[in-house]
Structure formats: structure tokens, C-alpha cells
Amino acid sequence: MSTFRPILRSLRGNTPLRQTTPPLRSTRPTFTSNRLLSTRSSPSGHSSGGGGGGGKRRYLPYALLPAGLFLLPAATLACDPDPSTLPPPSSLSSASTFQLFKAWFVWTLICTPGMVDYSPAILDFFFKTPLKAPVEWFVRNTFFEQFVPGESVAECMPALHAMRERNVGAMLNYSAEVDESQLKGSGPDRDAQDRAEREKKLGQVLLALEVAGEYERGLPIEQRGVTGFALKITGLVDCNILERASYSLLRLRPLTNSNSATSPTSATFVPYPGTPQSADAQIVARSSMEGERGLGKGLELLALGGKLDEMGVLESDHGLREGDMEELNELWAKLKIIGNKAKENNINLFVDAEHTWYQPALDAYTLLLSQEFNRPPVKKDDTWTGPIIFGTYQSYLTRQPSHLIHALAHADAHGYALGIKLVRGAYFMQERQKWLDEGRHGADPIWPNKPATDMAYDGSIATIMTTMKEQLDSQHPERALSVVFGTHNSESCDLVCDGLVKNGLAFTDPISHMLHLRPDVRGKIRVAQLYGMKDDLTDRMSTRFVNDGKPVALKYIAYGKLDEVMPYLGRRAIENKSLMSGDHGSGAERKRVGAELKRRIFG
């Protein structure tokens, strides 16, 4: 386990940003005097040509010009910089003046006091009045266009192509979210409607993977394997079932042989919502364990109950009901279909983290998917670009450091490559409020303040870097992890760059000061920001690395119809309120876009 010891000391430091390439030296010959090109005199003391001594020497430079013209292109090419070190166009330079004006207008509105807090309620009100059409037009042409490039995955393709020109990759996300306020409703008509909606979302996911695969196949072979898709499992099943399964998992885990992670007295204890175990399959995917000796229908699991203070589980938390395990088996079948589609199209599949009351079940499915699709091929000749399945690790949860260590150890012990998406977290307000309202035992699962979250995030960066180094240098480099760092924090981005250099995973080009990744690291390290936000940081990361065809910079792209995406936009705005406010948030974005507009208009 020492291999995976967390490293929480700071790696603060600045990696030099890319500097401009020094001016090319002139390759054109300079003719300062005919004497410099004169030939020796003949033995008789006369020039070799007749006619008064100037003779042929006067015309010799012109005779040499054709040869010089042939040499110039070769000389110029020899002095040209490596195309991979040329700076890609920035997000500002590639935008039209009209697009910049609209972006400036959007950021100005966001800077308005109260706009972020009250906009969801205001829009909900207007959408129920005769003013819905003009309000919808306004939203579509301002906020929607800024943060969502299209209503379908096909409409997002131009954005993907444009970003790739800027050395930026993409992670797509169908952002039709579950309305938690409607989860308690029931009835035959409602159940049929919900099931039809879930089947529609499954179809959208499979379509997106196919379209993204077509995009990938249009790239040169050596540039493929960067595009991703973010999957919300809650869109594929009744979330109430996921919640009941999660409480049953938390009660079951201490009863299994692998119970050290659930014991508060253990050095390897993982706080709520715990960490997944192989035995979780008997609840979330029982059909996958058919044939195992002594395995029955699992009716005894319906009787799991009681409180579990160390995991914040109450006596009143409902466990599995009759019929739930059949629904969970059906969900597992859907997830395998999605995993196979992602594998066929060479698309990375990122399982989104969600509320902690769903997370034990989501973690269990992520582990099963990883064991299914992240195993390197037995034959060395088979193509292998790294893990397909990526789990999401939320650093604002107190479990994060120990949960990551367990995940790394499980992958190492079971022979698969771990896919990691490291984020700070998005649901802290709801998490704290629910924990308080329901009177759960002990402190809530969130770190007490942002510095503690930052320390957990930055410590995980260090752990991931050292582990990747050790894995790539081991006897099984094919099992090395891959990671996407989701962050809008420039200091964390610096830590990623510094960690790459410190661990010998990248080196700094002495001329361009850009980072070269080791060949076996290409495609394994990415840094992501939300589409429409922190474009300056994305530009900075895209120009910090040599363009080897596999971008390090990434954008998380939400798409969906306006009415489907509005809950997502509202949630993102509120969650990122602190990030979007102040001198480093929307004010900085407005200032940056305004400066470019001023330059274009006034020079």
C-alpha cells in the first residue's frame, strides 16, 4: 500500500509559459562588393575577361543568383520552428467580433448582483407566461449559446473541430438532468412515462458515442483516443432504487470479508459514502455472478436494515425492495451495452459522480465497468490506448484521499488500468443541508472549508503523478492509470505541469519552453474546464504543451434541448457562484473579452 501513499505537501511553483520563438536568422547572401566575388587574375596580369578589367566579374553575381534561389527555400525550411511548437489560435482570436460582443454581454449580466441566485426562479416564472417565446429566444441567443454549443451531439461537431484546431479536446455530456423534486411521485402512468424517458436517454447516449466515434475515425490514427463522453447513470434508472441500493450496500460491506475500509478503527477506513468492493456485485449486478457456488436469489439482502453511525446510515433509511434487484440487473445490462459501444468507437466513458446518497451504487457500477473494459489485451499485438472507463473522484468529500488509495490498490491487485477524473465537487450545499435536516450522526461528508478541499485535490495530484511514474516504469506499463484533472484553478494546473516534470513524465523544451510529454504519457494526462468558462486557462494549457496530436487541454461540453439543459445551466451557475464572482470569475472574463473588443475596434 506504500506505493499509493498520499502526498499532501504542496508542489507550488511556476512552470515557464511558452515564449515566442526567436527571430530567424537571415539566409539571404549579401553582395557588398564585386570584389568579394572576383576571380583571381590570369598569370599575365590581365583579367580573365576582356574589355577594361570589369569583364565577367561584373556579371558573376547574376550568374550565381539561380543557385542562390534554389538554396533559399532549403535554408529557410532548416530555420523554421517545429510546427508542433507553434502557438495554436486562442479562443479570443478565433471568435468573431459579434461573438465577442455577445460573450461580453453575457458576462456583464452575470456580474449583476443577484443574477446567479435568482435567474432560475425568474426563468421558471417567465416560462409559464405568454412571454415564454421572447424570453426563450433571449436565453437561447445569450446564455445558452455561451455555455452550450448545440442541442444535439451532431450540432456540437463544428465546435469539436474548431477546438481541435486550437489543440483542445472534448468531453461530451447529454445534460438532461433528473428533477429530484419529482422523484417521490408514483402511479402506472407516471412509471410508464419515466421508463420511456429513460429509454430515450439510453438511445441518446448510444447515438452520441457513435457520432463521436465517427469524429474520432476522421482523425489520423496517432491522434485518436482523446474524445470522451460523460455518463449520468441516474438518467437510466429510477433514482429511488439507486438510493435504496446504496443504503443496502453500506449495511452489507461490514459483513463481508473485505471489511477494513468500513471499520472506523482501521487505518484504511474510508468515510461515508465508503468505497466499492468486489462483493457489491451481489446487489447491483447479481446476474453477473450467476454460477457462483452457494449464490441464491438474494432475498436475504432485502432484510438488511439497522443504523450504521460510522456511515451516517439511519434506521429509517430504506433498503432494497422486492423487484429492485431485477431493475438493477437491467441497469447493469444497459451499462455493458454502453461500455461496449464506447469501446467499439474508442471513446472514453466518464461516469459522473452525483449525490452521496446514490454514490455507493454508482461506485459499485464504476468498479464493475472498470474490471470489464479496462483490462489490457492478453495479446501484445492488440491495440491498447489505455482505460475506457473513468470514475469521478470528488475532492470536497472527506473520503477522497483514502478512497483514491483504495481504487489504485484494487486496480493493481486485479490487473486493470484505472481511469480517474479528479474534480473538487459540485453538490456541497445540498449535501450539507440534507445531512443536517435528516439528523445524521457526526459531521457531514464535506471538508469544513475550501483550503481543506484544495489540499485534498492537490495532494491527489501528487499521488496520481508518482503512481503513474511507478506504473509506467514497472513490468506492466500497460496497466498505468490515465487521468483527467477537472479544475478551474490555475494553481492546480501549475501543480499538474510541475508534477509531470518532477516525475520525469515530461520535459521542458529549451527553446519554446513548452512541455513535451513522454511518448508513453501521450493521451494519459488531460486538464478540463467547462465549455464557455475559463477559456483563458484552457488557452494557457493548450499552449503550454507541444501539440503532439493528443491535446492535454479539454472542454466539458454540455448539450441538449433548451428546456432539458436549463436545470443544468441553473445548477452550474449556482455551484460555480464563487468561481464566477469577483476579480477571478465573471469580472475577469468580462475584462478579458472587453480588452479584445477594444483592441479590434480602436486598435
Phi–psi pair at 512, nearest 5 degrees: -85, -20
As beta bridge partners, residue 174 has 559
The residues, any chain, with a CB within 8 Å of residue 290's CB and separated by 6 or more, are none
Q: Which of 183-197, 207-221, 528-542 has the lowest mean pLDDT?
A: 183-197
CB count within 10 Å of CB 281 equals 20
- Return the residue matching grid coordinates 455551484: 575
40 pLDDT above the threshold of 50: no
Q: What is the mean pLDDT of residues 207-218?
A: 97
Task: Give me the torsion for CA of 365, 367, 369, 375, rounded to 10°.
Answer: -170
Instruction: List the domains of the chain with CATH numbers.
Output: 2-12+91-292+301-602 (3.20.20.220)
- Return the residue matching grid coordinates 491522434: 223
- Return the residue matching grid coordinates 469577483: 582
Q: Which of 17-21, 114-118, 462-466 has the lowest mean pLDDT?
A: 17-21
295 pLDDT above the threshold of 90: no
Angle at 525 between CA 504 and CA 530, to 5 degrees: 140
Asked if residues 523 and 480 have their Cβ atoms less than 8 Å apart, the reply is no
Q: What is the DSSP string of 517-541?
A: EPGGGTTTEEEEEETTS-HHHHHHH
294 pLDDT above the threshold of 60: no
Please give the pLDDT value at position 440. 94
Pairing of strands 228-231, 525-530: unpaired
Asked if residues 141 and 197 have their Cβ atoms less than 8 Å apart, the reply is no
Asked if residues 303 and 322 have their Cβ atoms less than 8 Å apart, the reply is no
332 pLDDT above the threshold of 50: yes
Ramachandran assignment for 558, one of left (phi > 0), alpha (psi -120 to 50 degrees), beta (any other): beta
Distance between CA atoms of residues 287 and 291, nearest Å:
9
Q: What is the mean pLDDT of residues 253-279?
A: 79
Please give the pLDDT value at position 456. 98
pTM for the whole structure? 0.82
- Return the residue matching grid coordinates 494557457: 540
Please give the pLDDT value at position 183. 55
Per-residue CA distances from 58 to 45, 46, 51, 461 (Å): 18, 15, 11, 70
43 pLDDT above the threshold of 70: no
Task: Give me the torsion for CA of 94, 593, 117, 235, rounded to 10°.
Answer: 10
- Return the residue matching grid coordinates 474534480: 423
Q: What is the mean pLDDT of residues 163-186?
A: 78
Instruction: Compute the residue count for the chain.
Output: 603
Q: Which amino acid is at 398?
A: T
371 pLDDT above the threshold of 60: yes
Q: Which of 427-431, 465-469, 484-488 has the lowest mean pLDDT?
A: 427-431
Mean pLDDT for the chain overall = 83
Distance between CA atoms of residues 19 and 510, nearest Å:
10
Distance between CA atoms of residues 246 and 372, nearest Å:
21
Q: Which of 35-49, 112-126, 538-552 has the lowest mean pLDDT?
A: 35-49
Please give the pLDDT value at position 125. 87
Q: What is the mean pLDDT of residues 111-124?
A: 78
Q: pLDDT tens across 483-501, in order?
A: 999 999 999 999 999 999 9
Distance between CA atoms of residues 553 and 542, nearest Å:
5
Q: pLDDT tens across 64-98, in order?
A: 444 444 444 444 444 455 555 556 667 777 788 88
Distance between CA atoms of residues 228 and 153, nearest Å:
12
Q: What is the mean pLDDT of residues 268-279?
A: 92
As beta bridge partners, residue 527 has 485, 553
Please give the pLDDT value at position 526. 98
How sure is the predictor about 184, in pLDDT bands with cuts at 50, 70 and 90?
A: low
Tell me 128's DSSP state.
Answer: T
HSE-up of 177 (CA within 13 Å, CB side)?
A: 17
Q: Which amino acid is at 534?
A: K
- Return the residue matching grid coordinates 489543440: 167
Q: pLDDT tens across 491-527, in order?
A: 999 999 999 999 999 999 998 899 999 999 999 999 9
More confident residue, 193 or 289: 193
